[in-house]
């Protein structure tokens, strides 16, 4: 069984495949069917939330390691209480997950973008930043680079978070389970805006989030070697990327689990000390 599992993993990693999406062929609407629309011959997708339902979609394929870009235009106006989730997740027990969550806010207040990483069903690794632009005025590119060494979250090419593989000190890392891409627009007003103090104003419904220009560089089954590709082999940021990450953390970070000693009174998680 162990040899079979190793063979499946190695063959899954065998080559780099570049996928530019057509939403008809690459994604399925998974809930709120009448609240989701595919437009422009499959080049754009819209999710809608109102009092009757939210909506969501998922990729038809699973990926084990990938560099994924999606352009999203978030819910405009008074979006308080809405949550637009865009993430990768495996299925079953002890699941792995890589999250973007966009927490709506009152008109004129900045959106909060929350990121999180689950490995073997263990999460509680939230970071939150204010976005430094209006994410509702136009499309912006939200990216995940996931390889055996690190998970890199980026916005319009600017690094906003790195989660390293720290298995050598006992921190589980997602590397053995394939993940699908998911997105959903739903009512999170019990927690999303100021801890649930601000509720959705349903008079502003329907709330709409739009998606376009999905692109994925993925490892799949063939004969070439995925490790020959730069994104798969990347182990650290270069100096310019590191400066960009520090700029984001200094100016826009509003919460980091690695600084929350009240939440972890017995000591911060192991990866926070490295």
Domains and CATH numbers, the chain: 2-273 (2.60.120.200)
- What value does the mean pLDDT of the chain take? 90
Q: Which two tokens stand for residue 267?
A: 């000591």
- pLDDT value for 11: 38
- What confidence tens digit (pLDDT) does each residue in 48-82 have? 999 999 999 999 999 999 999 999 999 999 999 99
- In sequence order, the 6+-apart residues with CB closer than 8 A to the CB of 218 are 16, 17, 19, 61, 63, 65, 66, 67, 68
* Active-site residue, from 62, 101, 167, 241: 101
* Active-site residue, from 97, 126, 167, 271: 97
Active site annotation includes 101: yes
Query: For the chain, give me the number of helices (H) and strands (E)?
Result: 4, 16
User: Any idea which of 218-222, 248-252, 267-271 has the lowest mean pLDDT?
Assistant: 218-222
Whether 154 and 162 have beta carbons less than 8 Å apart is answered as no
Q: How far apart are CA 154 and CA 176, in angstroms?
A: 23
- pLDDT value for 66: 93
Q: What predicted TM-score, i.e. pTM, was given to this entire model?
A: 0.90
Residues 241-263, mean pLDDT to the nearest whole number: 97
Q: How far apart are CA 182 and CA 96, in angstroms?
A: 13
- In sequence order, the 6+-apart residues with CB closer than 8 A to the CB of 246 are none
- What confidence tens digit (pLDDT) does each residue in 156-205 have? 999 999 999 999 999 999 999 999 999 999 999 998 887 888 899 999 99
Active site annotation includes 97: yes
């Amino acid at each position: 069984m162990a040899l079979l599992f190793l063979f499946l993993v190695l063959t899954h990693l065998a080559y780099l495949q570049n996928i530019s999406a057509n939403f008809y062929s690459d994604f399925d609407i998974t809930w709120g069917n009448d609240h989701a629309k595919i437009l422009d011959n499959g080049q754009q997708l819209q999710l809608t939330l109102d009092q009757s339902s939210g909506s969501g979609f998922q990729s038809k394929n699973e990926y084990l390691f990938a560099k994924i870009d999606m352009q999203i235009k978030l819910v405009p106006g008074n979006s308080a209480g809405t949550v637009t989730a865009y993430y990768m997740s495996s299925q079953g027990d002890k699941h792995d997950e890589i999250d973007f969550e966009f927490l709506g806010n009152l008109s004129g207040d900045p959106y909060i973008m929350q990121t999180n990483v689950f490995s073997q069903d263990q999460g509680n690794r939230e970071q939150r930043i204010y976005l430094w632009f209006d994410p509702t005025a136009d499309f912006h590119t939200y990216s995940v680079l996931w390889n055996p060494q690190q998970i890199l979250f980026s916005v319009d090419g600017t690094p906003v978070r790195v989660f390293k593989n720290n298995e050598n000190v006992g921190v589980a890392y997602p590397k053995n389970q394939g993940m699908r891409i998911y997105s959903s627009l739903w009512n999170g007003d019990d927690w999303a805006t100021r801890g649930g103090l601000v509720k959705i104003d349903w008079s502003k419904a329907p709330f709409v989030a739009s998606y376009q220009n999905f692109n994925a560089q993925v490892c799949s089954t063939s004969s070439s070697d995925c490790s020959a590709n730069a994104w798969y082999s990347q182990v650290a940021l270069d100096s310019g990327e590191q400066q960009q990450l520090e700029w984001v953390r200094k100016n826009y970070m509003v919460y980091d689990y690695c600084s929350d000693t009240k939440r972890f009174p017995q000591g911060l998680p192991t990866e926070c000390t490295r």
